[in-house]
Amino acid sequence: MFRHIVMLSFKAPLSARDHKDIVDQCRAIKEALPGIIDLRFVANASDRARSYSHAFVADFIDAAAHGRYQQSPVHAPLKQKVMALGQQLIVLDYET
């Protein structure tokens, strides 16, 4: 299994509408692309995370499935939305 984590800070607090849109996009990506075990967008419950208020946590069957996800046009609208709203991000990828 291959795990992909993206911690995010946003330029402004994320609206309920934007949060729902991102969650819906994650659901659509998971349904459209084979090899995704799970794809979640979550709010950070920690008070130690500085400004990193949300994260994507994605599990793939293997690194190749993650590579296909990164290159897929289905993923592009989500990346564009996050880049427009986001301030900083940190990525952690690893195999389990």
Task: Give the pLDDT confidence score for residue 86 in this predicted structure.
Answer: 96
CA torsion 75→81→85→89, rounded to 10°?
Answer: 10
Q: Which CATH number fits domain 2-95: 3.90.1150.10, 3.30.565.10, 3.40.50.300, 3.30.70.100?
A: 3.30.70.100
SS3 content of the chain, % helix, strand, coil (to 5): 40, 35, 25
Task: Give the pLDDT confidence score for residue 66 in this predicted structure.
Answer: 98
Domain locations along the chain: 2-95
- Look at residue 56 and give its three-state secondary structure: strand
Q: What is the pTM of this model?
A: 0.93
CB of 26 within 8 A of CB of 78? Answer: yes
Q: Provide the residue-wise pLDDT of the chain in tens; the chain has 96 residues.
A: 999 999 999 999 999 999 999 999 999 999 999 999 999 999 999 888 889 999 999 999 999 999 999 999 999 999 999 999 999 999 999 999
**Residue whose C-alpha is closest to residue 73's, from 20, 32, 22, 31:** 32
Q: How many helices (H) and strands (E) does the chain have?
A: 3, 4
Task: Give the pLDDT confidence score for residue 92 in this predicted structure.
Answer: 98
